[in-house]
Amino acid sequence: MTYKSIEEYNTYLINNQININIIEFIKEINKIKYKIDISFIDEFIELVSKDECCIHHNMLQKYGISNLKGGSKDIKRILEQNEFIENEDFQLSKVAELRSQGG
């Protein structure tokens, strides 16, 4: 069935007492309103559920999340801008060069 609005879809789910998981809900909402390419979502959720979510910068570029023309410098800027904490919010892997100890 095709829905014309998010409200119509929500009403359908409520009136028919249909329970769906959050991923299916997001996919349907995206189809109705946003129409963003989220074809990566199933693979992403699988990785997250395994606690093995390592997102290569190429994936960020592929799905238009970030252009990252500056490579690792851009990634570092994004991490700092969002106040992410190493080993808590992210982990470094396969680092090609040593990080400076001075900050």
CB 13 within 8 A of CB 20: yes
Of the candidates 11, 15, 14, 9, the one whose C-alpha atom is nearest the C-alpha of residue 27 is 9
CB 72 within 8 A of CB 90: no
Domain residue limits, the chain: 1-53, 54-84
pLDDT tier for residue 15 given thresholds of 50, 70 and 90: very high
59-78 pLDDT tens trace: 777 777 677 677 778 778 88
Q: What percent of the chain has pLDDT over 90?
A: 28
How many angstroms separate the CA atoms of 48 and 68, rounded? Answer: 23
Is the pLDDT assigned to residue 98 strictly greater than 50?
Answer: no
